[in-house]
């Protein structure tokens, strides 16, 4: 009996695959690094390898699995399986569903990663009792998912929810290539770290200076440690990100009149106690009073598991029989 599913959360830094049973339980997880520099086909091979490892660790075969559900950090058509744009993994106009399906005889289902998380949050955090919700994950980049009238909203050409690519201020936020900076380029972990590195290279003191001088990657845990030690450079850039996030969310809430905003991703998960109050304050300062009154802003309690649980919703939608 095929009662299990495998969900894969495919991000800019990791491939996280998990086995879920028909009791809504995550049985096991396998995490591989994302090596986007090796190209799309190699990344698909790594995804397939992670799924195979999940099966191996649990002494299962494809006969025990209903579907493989994959969340991708980019614009995805879940019906054709084509990734139109996924800049954080260097993927453009690539049929990831077709490429991955070659490894399996069971259905492969594809969705944008934050859409998948939004589906999981709606079902398992709100017990499907949420009408109009915006989900925003802040990590390597910034992604969004929209629930309208209780259903995932993908848009006319599957771009809905791409909040990270919104231009936030064309006059003052200019990127290195001369183009206006997007939300993602201004408030993601990548943007926060770039700002910190720039200040350190200008001579400002920080407890992260050694990591920068050794050209080591600055992760969310390192940011949290510096934040807890009141590192001035880090505090400055985290505060700036909070102000930008809160203001952008306020604009979207004013436009769409959502009732719930859920924040997640590595940055929020690591620094929620510090960031959430500041994001909420910036939100309240910027949102129109009417729509602002009815909005609840919360951090997802599911964390990385949100997208994993979203696999259940994908199976319900695409494999109804």
Instruction: State pLDDT tens for residues 62-98.
Output: 999 999 999 999 999 999 999 999 888 889 999 999 9
pLDDT of residue 174: 56
Show the tokens assigned to 256.
Answer: 């769409």
What is each CA distance from 164 to 53, 147, 231, in whole angstroms?
33, 17, 27
Q: What are phi and psi of 131, to 5 degrees?
A: -95, -65
CB 107 within 8 A of CB 68: yes
Confidence of residue 170 (pLDDT cuts 50, 70, 90): low
Compute φ and ψ for 234, nearest 5 degrees: -70, -45
What's the CA gap between 234 and 208, in Å, rounded?
A: 9
- Which pLDDT score is estimated for 321? 54
Average pLDDT, the chain: 93
Per-residue pLDDT tens over the stretch 219-274: 999 999 999 999 999 999 999 999 999 999 999 999 999 999 999 999 999 999 99
Convert the pLDDT of each residue in 181-222 to its tens digit. Answer: 899 999 999 999 999 999 999 999 999 999 999 999 999 999
Residue ranges of domains in the chain, CATH in brackets = 4-122+304-318 (3.30.420.40), 129-299 (3.30.420.40)
Mean pLDDT of all residues in 56-62 = 95
Which helix or strand (DSSP H or E) is residue 95 part of? strand 91-95
Q: Tell me, what's the pLDDT at 13?
A: 80
The runs of H, that is alpha helices, within the chain are 40-57, 96-101, 113-124, 184-187, 189-201, 209-213, 220-228, 232-256, 266-286, 289-293, 305-318
pLDDT band at residue 12 using 50, 70 and 90 as cut-offs: confident
At residue 320, the pLDDT reads 74
pLDDT at residue 42 in the model: 93
Percent of the chain exceeding pLDDT 70 equals: 97
pLDDT, tens digit (0-9, with 9 covering 90-100), for 116-133: 999 999 999 999 999 999
């Amino acid at each position: 009996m095929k009662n299990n599913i495998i969900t894969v959360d495919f991000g800019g830094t990791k491939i996280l695959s998990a086995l879920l049973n028909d009791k809504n339980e995550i049985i096991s997880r396998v995490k591989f690094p994302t090596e986007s520099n090796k190209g799309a086909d190699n990344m698909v091979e790594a995804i397939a390898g992670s799924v195979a490892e999940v099966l191996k660790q649990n002494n299962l075969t494809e006969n025990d699995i209903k579907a493989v559900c994959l969340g991708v950090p980019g614009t995805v058509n879940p019906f054709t399986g084509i990734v139109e744009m996924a800049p954080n993994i260097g993927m453009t106009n690539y049929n990831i569903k077709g490429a991955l399906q070659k490894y399996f005889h069971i259905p492969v289902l594809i969705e944008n990663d934050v859409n998948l998380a939004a589906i999981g949050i709606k079902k398992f955090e709100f017990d499907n009792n949420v009408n109009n919700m915006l989900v925003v994950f802040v990590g390597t980049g910034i992604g969004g998912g929209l629930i309208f009238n209780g259903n995932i909203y993908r848009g006319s050409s599957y771009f809905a929810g791409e909040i990270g690519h919104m231009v936030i201020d064309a006059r003052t936020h200019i990127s290195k290539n001369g183009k206006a900076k997007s939300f993602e380029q201004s408030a993601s972990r990548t943007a926060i770290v770039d700002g910190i590195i720039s200040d350190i290279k200008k001579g400002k003191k920080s407890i992260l200076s050694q990591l920068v001088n050794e050209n080591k990657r600055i992760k969310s845990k390192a940011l949290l440690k510096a934040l807890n030690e009141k590192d001035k450079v880090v505090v400055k850039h985290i505060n700036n990100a909070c102000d930008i996030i809160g203001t952008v969310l306020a604009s979207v809430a004013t436009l769409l009149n959502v009732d719930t905003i859920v924040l997640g991703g590595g940055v929020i998960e690591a620094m929620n106690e510090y960031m959430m109050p500041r994001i909420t304050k910036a939100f309240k300062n910027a949102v129109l009073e009417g729509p602002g009154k009815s909005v609840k802003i919360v951090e997802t309690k599911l964390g990385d598991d949100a997208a994993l649980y979203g696999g259940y919703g994908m199976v319900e939608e695409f494999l109804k029989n």
